[in-house]
Structure 1
Amino acid sequence: MNTYLETAADVYKQAALKPDIGLCCTTSPIWQLPGLSIPRIMQEMNYGCGSTVHPRDLVHQPTILYVGVGGGMEVLQFSYFSRKKGGVIGLDVVDEMLEACHQNLLSAEKENSWFSRDFVDLRKGTALELPIEDNSVDVAAQNCLFNIFTPEDLQKALKEMYRVLKPHGRLVLSDPITEDPMPDSLKQDERLRALCLSGSLSLADYLRMITDAGFGTVEVRAKRPYRILAPGQYKTDQLIVLESVEVCAIKDPMPEDGPCIFTGKAAIYFGQEEYFDDHKGHVLMPNQPLAICDKTAGALANLGRNDIFISDSTYFYDGGGCC
């Protein structure tokens, strides 16, 4: 194991033995669903930087893989929608975290009449070499884990996720990003990398690594402020702003003209005709916004028309539209 991964394992070993409420700063609420009770210990061990899977991703009793189990809150929430033996696979490399998650799930079983401990299959393993069969998972997720990896290891982890997903399966990720230069002094700080701070990529680089792994469709579902690395507090001369991004990557075939990446852009036609048809699958009705991928936004802009408005990226995409 690389030394930086050993440092990360030690950080999360300590967080398993003694919950560290301030370890991460989640910005999304715990799911509030009928009959779902989250043990307090799980809430205290809610280590992440945002939301991952949305309930709409969890239809038809899916098989779900969650890498980096933490205290077990997310695997419990996923089990609410996949109430079958081994319906949720929880993976972690830290023995102490797996044991803490197991004990927390036993507590959850007592608090939730619908939940059975065998709904969750806890396995030891690394994201760099998943102990999972090819094309066997409907939904895979990770929350503020892949940010720990170097770019080389991140590439391996993304390809592993792609391998285990079924065709059209979904990989849902939440990670910090930054548009500010990250100095080498921070990149090489193994503890800061373990804390998901100094491994942050730009959004463009992050998305490019996802599509390089083979994902043909990518949705940027949310982007919000996360942390500040300030001079005097960290080894940097410039203020570094971190944001938390939530992305869904879909194992769709790669289009010949490149991936479809949705960053929350929309097109609105306001011309005199009944509708506008670009004859490439996009029909714009007057003054009805249509969600479009960045590739389509560029193609429409290149038409040079003055009766089509194309919005900037909102970095919020909630489905619908076309590519």
Structure 2
Amino acid sequence: MSSTDAIATDGSGLNVDAAVRNRYSSAAGTAQPSLCCPVDYDPRYLEIIPDEIIERDYGCGDPSRHLAEGDTVLDLGSGGGKICYIAAQIVGPSGRVIGVDCNDDMLDLARRYQPDIAHRLGYANVEFRKGKIQDLRLNLERLDDDLAEHPVRDSSDWLRLQEQAEHFRQTEPLIDSDSIDVVVSNCVLNLVRNEDRRQLFHELHRVLKRGGRAVISDIVSDEDVPQHLQADPHLWSGCLSGAFREDRFLQAFEDAGFYGIEILNRPAEPWAVIEGIEFRSLTVRAWKGKEGPCLERNQAVIYNGPWKAVIDDDGHRLNRGERMAVCDKTFQIYSRPPYADQITRIEPAVDVPLDQAAPFDCRRTAVRSPGETKFGQTPETRLPDGDCCGPDGCC
């Protein structure tokens, strides 16, 4: 164990980074079926992927099902590149896929087949970068180059290295802020040590564009994992003892500023059970873009149901069938997934320009009077002229 490994613990004495690195370096060379859950991938996208990559893929879900043509995709913990090469086919030549991993053996496996897969696709839209998923500003290959020129021999060299790493973060970030349409990850977040997880979700949020989304498949537990299991390197590197408790997994997205958080897939049967604790795959989607001022433009929304009332991530309560007052930012958010098919939007009769809009107090829940959305419109009377108002008969 190196001196660097010795300090990379999670607080319980377990060297998480070293345990994960050693396990996945081995798994890059020899398939380890126990590292993954059974997942049904679309066979169309597997045809061009070499068997060596498929056999050494370790995942618990398929976030690629939620990508679209033209997306710029970031795969956290891309491993041998399977999800990246699936994504490359879905996003097409107008899209782009970036895989990030810090394991040299996995990166070598993923990069080995890049030219061949690009030739078979007819375009090259995949690249792999070396970095830690909780520190997406630091390009580790850039740091490797610096270390080759300036080896660390004493504490002064080590301090210079820390300063150089921060310089790279600021001037040459591995992944730029607000540059990604979709961040995906497949059974990797649970491998990050506990004290780095707040930063991990912050980085997830930082790199996404406004309106972008995270689609994450990971292993979660139904109960807290006790310390003696968390201290087991085999269980941690096997995606078990580092599992998020499922409710806290969702809370981590909310704490990082995401909204519209939803569970896309949760198997009824657990993947594993240890001491009565159930571990299963969970696929979650969450959106970025609720930041910004709240402005009054006389807009309203009606929640269509089926629930009697719902509360969104900003605390807005929507009562079924009632015209609820919302700010322009919320009005625009509700026009997009995951809300659009549950909401009827009511535009104001007279547009209020953004530069003339007054502040809106989003802390309140208020019903919008129909007269407010019609403000500025001349009252009128309009009756049907003998025509039926419905396709199948008169009202």
TM-score by length of 1: 0.74
Q: Write out per-residue CA displacement over residues 33-89 of structure 1, whole angstroms, 9 at most, x where no aligned residue.
A: 38953322222122111121324x323x12111111222211111111333498111
Q: Do the aligned partners of 1:79 and 1:87 also contact (CA within 8 Å) in 2?
A: yes
Q: Do the aligned partners of 1:292 and 1:321 also contact (CA within 8 Å) in 2?
A: no
Q: What is the aligned counterpart of 2:65 among 39, 43, 54?
A: 54
Could you tell me which amino acid in structure 2 is paired with residue 281 of structure 1?
Answer: V
Q: What is the aligned counterpart of 1:71 among 60, 67, 80?
A: 80
Could you tell me which amino acid in structure 1 is paired with residue 85 of structure 2?
Answer: L
Distance of aligned partners of 1:319 and 1:199 in 2 relative to their CA distance in 1, 3 Å threshold: farther
Superposition deviation, residue 115 in structure 1: 4.3
Find runs of 4+ consecutive structure 1 residues off by over 6 angstroms: 300-303
Q: What is the aligned counterpart of 1:6 among 14, 18, 38?
A: 18
Q: Write out per-residue CA displacement over residues 189-222 of structure 1, whole angstroms, 9 at most, x where no aligned residue.
A: 2331121101122222111111111112212111
Point out the structure with the larger helix share. Answer: 2
Q: Specify the alignment match of 1:179 in structure 2.
A: 222
Q: What is the aligned counterpart of 2:35 among 20, 23, 27?
A: 23
SS in 2 for 1:58: coil
Q: Specify the alignment match of 1:212 in structure 2.
A: 255
Could you tell me which amino acid in structure 2 is paired with residue 252 of structure 1?
Answer: G
Q: Do the aligned partners of 1:141 and 1:173 also contact (CA within 8 Å) in 2?
A: yes
Q: Specify the alignment match of 1:311 in structure 2.
A: none
Range with greater deviation from structure 2 (292-301 or 247-256): 292-301
Q: What is the aligned counterpart of 1:123 among 105, 125, 129?
A: 129
The residue correspondences of 1:144-183 to structure 2 (distance < 5 A) are: 144-183=187-226
Structure 1: stretches of 5+ with no match in the other structure: 231-237, 257-278, 304-316
How many residues matched? 273
Could you tell me which amino acid in structure 2 is paired with residue 105 of structure 1?
Answer: Q
Q: Specify the alignment match of 1:321 in structure 2.
A: 342
Residues 1:199 and 2:242 are matched in the alignment: yes
Could you tell me which amino acid in structure 2 is paired with residue 179 of structure 1?
Answer: D
Larger Rg: 2
Q: Specify the alignment match of 2:121 in structure 1.
A: 114
User: Following the alignment from structure 1 to structure 2, what is the Cα–Cα distance between the partners of residues 120 and 67?
Assistant: 14
RMSD between superposed Cα atoms in Å: 3.3
Range with greater deviation from structure 2 (75-84 or 6-15): 75-84
Q: Do the aligned partners of 1:25 and 1:226 also contact (CA within 8 Å) in 2?
A: no
User: Following the alignment from structure 1 to structure 2, what is the Cα–Cα distance between the partners of residues 15 and 81?
Assistant: 27
Q: Do the aligned partners of 1:128 and 1:156 also contact (CA within 8 Å) in 2?
A: yes
User: Following the alignment from structure 2 to structure 1, what is the Cα–Cα distance between the partners of residues 105 and 250?
Assistant: 32
User: Following the alignment from structure 1 to structure 2, what is the Cα–Cα distance between the partners of residues 107 and 290?
Assistant: 51
Q: Do the aligned partners of 2:309 and 2:320 also contact (CA within 8 Å) in 1?
A: no
Could you tell me which amino acid in structure 2 is paired with residue 41 of structure 1?
Answer: E
Could you tell me which amino acid in structure 1 is paired with residue 128 of structure 2?
Answer: L
Asked which structure has the greater RCO (Cα within 8 Å, sep 6+), the reply is 1
Structure 2: stretches of 5+ with no match in the other structure: 9-14, 137-173, 294-298, 322-337, 345-395
